[in-house]
Structure 1
Amino acid sequence: MGEVRVSPRDSEVRVSLGDEVVVELPENATTGYLWSVQHIDGGLEVTSDEYRAPGQVLPGAEGQRVVRVRPTAAGDGVVRLVLKRPWESAVQDQHSVRISVSD
């Protein structure tokens, strides 16, 4: 059982059943744009979704959105996150990760 970290550059990851995938994306909450899980499938489930504030509290400082995903079955799945203001429909950015899970 391990932890696999995914950066904004990663679009695919291979893990074993029992591993946890950690997706970390830069987020500046003061702009109103927040990352959220828009879609998840293929035997994957979100176990936590949190914002981590920057180490120094400065106006406009960037924090991190940390989403933890756990596979519940072997196979392929996708988790897609979107960056948008909750009160708007327009998407500013998106990030998808294909997760291949082996026994």
Structure 2
Amino acid sequence: MTIAHSLSLAAAIALLSACASPSKSVAVQQQTQCPLNLQVGQQMILSLPSNPTSGYRWAVREDASSILKSLGPEVYSASQSDLVGGDGHSTWRFQAIGSGEAQLLLTYAQPWDASTEPAETFDCRIQVR
């Protein structure tokens, strides 16, 4: 077997093993992506439309902490940096830490108005293997 052939075979094996293993992170942007299946160690990046200047905020109601670990606070980024009061996205990062099933529930509402139903709800059943 030549060195070039050995290198080609090694590259092919590495490519196949990369395809067989799960992605290190899963991006979630819509309720339609749920239910969600993750593997222990995998990260979930949740990004939802948001506009805090309207007074509405996302609040985590059920954090699936038995299977997910938060990797930091919510991070807001504006869609257009030069537009004051414009829409953007709120992003959370989680890591799957244990096997099981749990609910991740967030609501989008004005925190001071508890009598009004949330404008939006993100409700996702997550299973970690």
TM range (shorter): 0.7 to 0.9
The one-letter code of the counterpart of 1:44 is L
Q: How does 1:1-103 map to 2 (within 5 A)?
A: 2-8=24-30, 9-41=32-64, 42-48=66-72, 49-89=74-114, 90=116, 91-102=118-129
Q: Percent identity?
A: 25
Q: Distance in 2 between matches of 1:67 and 1:36?
A: 11
Q: What is the CA deviation profile of residues 21-54 of structure 1, one whole-angstrom value per residue up to 9, with x for unaligned ones?
A: 1111000111011112111234222222211122
Task: State whether residues 105 and 121 of structure 2, in contact with CA within 8 Å, keep that contact through their aligned partners in structure 1.
Answer: yes
Q: Which structure carries more helix by proportion? A: 2
Normalising by the residue count of structure 2, what TM-score does the alignment of the two structures yield? 0.71
SS at match of 1:30: helix
Structure 2 unaligned blocks of 5 or more = 1-22
Compute the RMSD of aligned alpha carbons.
Answer: 1.6
Aligned residues: 102
Flag the structure with more relative contact order, 1 or 2, with Cα contacts below 8 A and sequence separation at least 6: 1
Contact 2:28 / 2:47 at 8 angstroms: preserved in 1? yes
Q: Which has the larger radius of gyration?
A: 2
Select the structure that is richer in strand. Answer: 1
Q: What runs of 5+ residues in structure 1 fail to find an aligned partner?
A: none
